C-alpha cells in the first residue's frame, strides 16, 4: 500500500473514531483520544522544526545558484498567477455564495446565539503602514524565531541576490553550504513523512473527539456551503494545472495528496511545505530553481481559498442580521477580502483576524466575527487544503513552462 493511501486512510479512520467518541459515552475511547494528543503534537512540531531552515536554504540555493537565471521572471509570473487565482475565487464566491446561502432559509431571529463580541472579536490588527514597514525585518533572526515568514523571505531573497554579486569562489561555497542544508533537511522530511499515517491519525482523533455537533441548521448550512464551494475550487485546480502545467490530472492529484492531508489535519500551509517540496522534487520532478522559490513565496502570499470562506462567512453574518446586500456591496466585500488575503497571516483562522476593518467600513456587525471564529475549525481545514493545492498548482505550471526549463 502506497504512503499516500496510508495517510488518507489514517485521516479517514481518525475522523471516524473521533466522531464516534464525541457522541458516545465510552470512557476508554475518550481516554484513548486524550493519550493520543501529545503524539499528534509531537509530529506537528517535528514538521515545523524543518520549515525555517528548509525555506531559507531553498531560497538561497535557488536564487544564488548559477543555473538560476530567471528568478525575477519566475517571481513575477508566480505573483501574476497568485492574482489570477485569488481574483477567480473571489468572483466565484460573489456569484455562488449569496444564492446558496438563501437556499438555507436563514432565520434572522437566531442572532441571540452570537457570542459576546468583547471576548471573541477584539484583535490587535496592525495598521497597513506598519505592516509595510515590518516587511523589512530589523532583526532577521528574530523574524525567524517568531515565524514571520514574509519578512524572513524578503531578507533571504536580498541575501541570496547579494551572493550573486560576490566573487565566484565565495558564491559557490555559500551555495554549496545552503544546498547541503536543504538536502539534509529533506532527509529529515522523509523520516517525518514515513510516520505520517501515525501522526495524522493521532492529530485528527482528539480534534474530532472534542468538537461538538450541536450546531443549529443555519450554522450547519453555512458550513456546507463554505466547504462545498472550497471543494469545488479545489477540483477546478486539477484541470487548470493539467492544461497549463502539462501533467495528467491523476499525476497531479497523487503528488498533492500527502501535503493536502497534512494541511487538512494541521490547518497550516506552512506545516505542509516540506511535503510539497518533497512531492515537487521527487514525484513531479520540477526544477529546484522553480519549486524552491515558488513554493515558499506561495505559502507566504497565496491564500487562494480565503476569499471563498471569508466571503461566504460575511454573507452569512449579513443574512442572520437581516442585512440586504446589493451587487455593489457584494463586489466591494469580495474585492476587499481578496486584496486582504495577501495580508493575512498563514496560521489557523488567520484570515479572520484581519476582517474587522472590512466589517466596520461596510457597516456590518463586528460581533459576527465572533461567531465565525467559533465555527472556523471545519472551514479552515478546507481552506488550508485548497491553499496547498493552489501552491502546488502554481509551482507545477511554472516548473513545466518554458521559464522553468531555461
3-state secondary structure of 322: coil
Which portions of the chain are predicted below pLDDT 70?
1-4, 25, 66-73, 104-131, 147, 149, 210-217, 343-354, 356-357, 360-362, 366-367, 370-371, 374, 402-406
Query: What values do phi and psi take at 121, rounded to 5?
Result: -115, 0
Closest to 46 measured CA to CA, from 265, 271, 261: 271
| Helix extents (H) in 195-342 | 196-210, 217-245, 249-266, 269-282, 288-301, 306-320, 327-340
**CA 68, CA 41: separation in Å to the nearest integer?**
37
pLDDT in the model for residue 125: 44
**CA 305, CA 370: separation in Å to the nearest integer?**
20
* Integer angstrom CA distances of residue 370 from 36, 110, 115, 116, 365: 30, 14, 6, 7, 10
**CA 205, CA 197: separation in Å to the nearest integer?**
12
Q: Under 8 Å CB-to-CB from 151, ≥6 apart: which residues? A: 134, 135, 136, 137, 140, 143
pLDDT in the model for residue 231: 96
* HSE-up (13 A, CA, CB side) for residue 173: 5
* Integer angstrom CA distances of residue 138 from 37, 131, 134, 151: 37, 13, 8, 9
Domain range list for the chain:
3-405
pLDDT in the model for residue 124: 44
pLDDT in the model for residue 70: 53
List Cβ<8 Å contacts ≥24 apart for 339-346: 341/86, 341/303, 341/306, 341/307, 341/310, 342/82, 342/86, 342/301, 342/303, 343/128, 343/131, 344/303, 344/306, 346/149, 346/268, 346/269, 346/270, 346/299, 346/300, 346/303
* Model-wide pTM > 0.85: no
**CA 69, CA 47: separation in Å to the nearest integer?**
31
Do residues 61 and 182 make contact, with C-beta atoms less than 8 angstroms apart?
A: yes
Closest to 178 measured CA to CA, from 308, 59, 30: 59
pLDDT in the model for residue 128: 59
CATH 1.10.3860.10 applies to domain 3-405: yes
pLDDT in the model for residue 403: 54
pLDDT in the model for residue 116: 44
Closest to 252 measured CA to CA, from 227, 286, 228: 286
CA 322 to chain centre: 32
CB atoms within 10 A of CB 130: 9
* Residue 288 φ/ψ region, left for φ over 0, alpha for ψ in the -120 to 50 degree band, beta for the rest: alpha
Do residues 286 and 280 make contact, with C-beta atoms less than 8 angstroms apart?
A: yes
* HSE-up (13 A, CA, CB side) for residue 371: 24
The set of cell numbers assigned to 260 is 493536502
How does DSSP classify residue 107? -
pLDDT in the model for residue 109: 45
pLDDT in the model for residue 305: 93
CB atoms within 10 A of CB 161: 14
Tell me the residue length of the chain: 406
Amino acid at each position: 500500500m502506497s504512503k499516500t493511501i496510508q495517510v488518507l486512510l489514517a485521516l479517514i479512520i481518525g475522523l471516524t473514531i473521533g466522531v464516534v467518541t464525541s457522541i458516545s459515552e465510552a470512557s476508554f475511547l475518550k481516554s484513548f483520544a486524550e493519550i493520543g494528543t501529545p503524539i499528534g503534537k509531537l509530529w506537528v512540531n517535528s514538521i515545523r522544526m524543518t520549515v525555517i531552515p528548509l525555506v531559507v536554504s531553498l531560497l538561497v540555493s535557488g536564487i544564488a545558484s548559477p543555473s538560476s537565471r530567471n528568478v525575477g521572471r519566475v517571481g513575477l509570473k508566480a505573483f501574476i498567477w497568485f492574482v489570477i487565482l485569488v481574483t477567480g475565487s473571489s468572483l466565484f464566491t460573489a456569484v455562488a455564495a449569496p444564492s446558496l446561502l438563501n437556499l438555507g432559509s436563514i432565520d434572522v431571529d437566531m442572532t441571540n446565539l452570537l457570542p459576546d463580541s468583547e471576548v471573541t472579536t477584539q484583535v490587535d490588527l496592525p495598521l497597513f503602514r506598519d505592516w509595510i514597514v515590518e516587511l523589512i525585518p530589523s532583526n532577521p533572526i528574530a523574524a525567524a524565531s517568531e515565524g514571520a515568514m514574509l519578512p524572513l523571505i524578503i531578507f533571504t531573497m536580498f541575501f541570496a541576490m547579494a551572493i550573486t554579486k560576490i566573487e565566484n569562489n565565495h558564491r559557490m561555497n555559500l551555495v554549496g553550504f545552503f544546498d547541503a542544508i536543504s538536502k539534509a533537511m529533506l532527509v529529515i522530511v522523509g523520516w517525518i513523512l514515513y510516520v505520517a499515517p501515525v501522526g495524522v491519525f493521532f492529530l485528527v482523533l482528539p480534534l474530532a473527539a472534542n468538537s461538538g455537533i450541536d450546531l443549529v441548521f443555519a450554522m450547519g448550512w453555512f458550513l456546507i456551503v463554505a466547504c462545498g464551494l472550497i471543494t469545488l475550487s479545489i477540483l477546478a485546480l486539477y484541470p487548470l494545472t493539467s492544461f497549463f502545467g502539462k501533467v495528467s490530472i491523476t499525476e497531479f492529484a497523487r503528488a498533492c495528496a500527502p501535503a493536502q492531508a497534512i494541511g487538512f489535519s494541521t490547518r497550516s500551509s506552512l506545516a505542509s511545505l516540506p511535503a510539497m517540496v518533497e512531492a515537487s522534487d521527487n514525484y513531479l520532478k520540477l526544477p529546484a530553481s522553480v519549486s524552491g522559490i515558488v513554493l515558499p513565496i506561495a505559502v507566504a502570499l497565496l491564500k487562494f481559498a480565503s476569499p471563498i470562506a471569508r466571503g461566504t462567512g460575511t454573507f452569512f453574518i449579513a443574512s442572520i442580521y437581516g442585512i440586504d446586500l446589493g451587487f455593489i456591496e457584494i463586489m466591494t466585500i469580495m474585492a476587499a477580502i481578496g486584496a486582504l488575503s495577501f495580508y493575512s497571516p498563514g496560521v489557523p483562522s488567520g484570515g479572520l483576524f484581519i476582517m474587522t476593518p472590512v466589517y466596520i467600513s461596510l457597516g456590518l456587525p463586528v460581533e459576527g466575527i465572533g461567531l465565525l471564529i467559533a465555527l472556523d475549525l471545519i472551514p479552515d481545514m478546507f481552506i488550508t487544503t485548497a491553499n496547498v493545492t493552489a501552491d502546488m498548482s502554481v509551482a507545477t505550471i511554472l516548473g513545466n513552462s518554458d521559464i522553468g526549463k531555461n
